[in-house]
């Protein structure tokens, strides 16, 4: 079983379904249950429960089974969590995050930036030169931004993610 107290798992699920969705997952009854039963047990609004269940289903973290009532013909949807499949999702997210951080690192390394001391803008060298190194918002002189600390932080973050 997946540990819902793991900060990585909690962060992923919170990003996926929000705080209410995470509460719903934590309080969801065992076995196959209806969305109404989940809403009652978790004290979360039914529409939030349904939205969360569909998001989980799209991400293969919840399974739904339809059952037709023979007398009324009504369909009942029975849900159960399949959080065990979260590991491939986390691996995919890790790869995507690493790729995006590497792209950002390359961008930061390959460009020279100038900033407004008041924090109005951050501009490429060419754009700063076109504006005569004056902030287009407030008119202050733009200053060179040494982004070495930021690129170093990006490198460390990529390294840390790769080790996990």
Predicted TM-score of the model (pTM): 0.66
Establish if 98 belongs to a structural domain.
Answer: no
The model's pLDDT over 15-41, given as tens digits with 9 standing for 90+, comes to: 999 999 999 999 999 899 999 999 999
Please give the angle made by the CA atoms of 12, 34 and 2, to the nearest 5 degrees: 30
3-state secondary structure 52-68: HHHHHHHCCCEEEEEEE
Of 37, 30, 45, 43, the closest CA to residue 82 belongs to 30
28 and 71 share a domain?
yes
**Whether residue 48 is found in the same domain as residue 80:** yes
Q: Looking at the structure, tell me whether residues 119 and 158 fall in a common domain.
A: yes
Domain count, the chain: 2
Q: Is the pLDDT of residue 70 over 90?
A: no
Q: Are residues 123 and 63 in the same domain?
A: no
Please tell me whether residues 81 and 118 are part of one structural domain.
no
Report whether pLDDT(55) > 90. yes
In a domain, 97, yes or no: no
Mean pLDDT score, 83-97: 87
Domain of 32 in residue numbering reads as 7-87
Same domain, 71 and 130: no
- The rounded mean pLDDT for the chain is 92
């Amino acid at each position: 079983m997946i540990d819902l107290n793991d900060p990585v798992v909690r962060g992923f699920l919170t990003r996926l379904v929000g705080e209410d969705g995470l509460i719903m997952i934590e309080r969801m009854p065992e076995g196959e249950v209806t969305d109404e039963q989940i809403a009652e047990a978790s004290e979360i609004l039914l529409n939030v429960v349904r939205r969360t269940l569909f998001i989980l289903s799209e991400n293969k973290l919840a399974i739904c089974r339809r059952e037709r009532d023979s007398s009324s013909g009504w369909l009942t949807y029975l849900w159960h969590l399949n959080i065990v499949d979260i590991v491939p999702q986390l691996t995919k997210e890790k790869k995507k995050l690493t790729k995006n951080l590497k792209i950002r690192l390359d961008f930061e390394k390959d460009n020279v930036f100038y900033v407004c001391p008041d924090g109005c803008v951050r501009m490429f060298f060419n754009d700063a030169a076109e504006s005569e190194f004056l902030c287009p918002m407030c008119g202050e002189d733009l200053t060179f931004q040494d982004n070495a600390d930021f690129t170093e932080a990006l490198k460390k973050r990529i390294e840390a993610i790769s080790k996990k």
